[in-house]
Amino acid sequence: MNQGFFYVVLMVVAFCGLAIANYIYNKKRLLQPLICPTGSNCDNVIHSRYSRLFNVPLEVIGALYYTIVIISYSVFLATPTLHSPGAAVVLVELTAAAFLFSIYLTGVQAVILKEWCTWCLGSAFVCAAIVIVELSFAGFDLTVLIKNAFS
């Protein structure tokens, strides 16, 4: 598959993450309850003390991350020569950090809060999807990575 296909997939997936972050942000801003599709208590999660990093709401940080991904891959699609190895490394590192942070936040939901937020889990899934697509594009054989991780 060509790199343009990967760029478009990454932009679409990141747009889904941006939509989730924006939805959470608007619900909080308008002081409306965040209703989880699964019936869990999203409000307890998004209003917990773990919902901010350095006093910045996590949905704002997520929106910034997803926007960076969308803009970066849009630029790479429009001007492929700008996709240098250095730029690729920075994006993969940023995505890895976002993914690891989403794993941490999922752990917070499970272990500390003992509450689940479907929207937050959706965002974590989006981070995982971006990691998988980026690693696939970089040429990693994901079956080997998964096999080695569990052996």
Structure tokens at 33: 């309850």
Taking a C-beta distance cutoff of 8 angstroms, is the pair 130, 69 a contact? yes
Give me the residue label for tokens 């971006």.
Answer: 130
Rounded distance between C-alpha atoms, residue 63 and residue 60, angstroms = 5
Q: Which of 133, 131, 73, 138 is nearest to 102 (CA)?
A: 131
pLDDT of residue 149 exceeding 90, the answer is: no
3-149 fold = de novo design (two linked rop proteins) (1.20.1440)
Taking a C-beta distance cutoff of 8 angstroms, is the pair 77, 8 a contact? yes
Taking a C-beta distance cutoff of 8 angstroms, is the pair 142, 22 a contact? no
Q: What is the mean pLDDT of residues 104-122?
A: 95
- β-pair partners for 52: 57
Q: What is the mean pLDDT of residues 15-33?
A: 96
Q: What percent of the chain has pLDDT over 90?
A: 66
pLDDT of residue 33 exceeding 70, the answer is: yes
Task: With cut-offs at 50, 70 and 90, classify the pLDDT of residue 1.
Answer: low
Task: With cut-offs at 50, 70 and 90, classify the pLDDT of residue 85.
Answer: confident
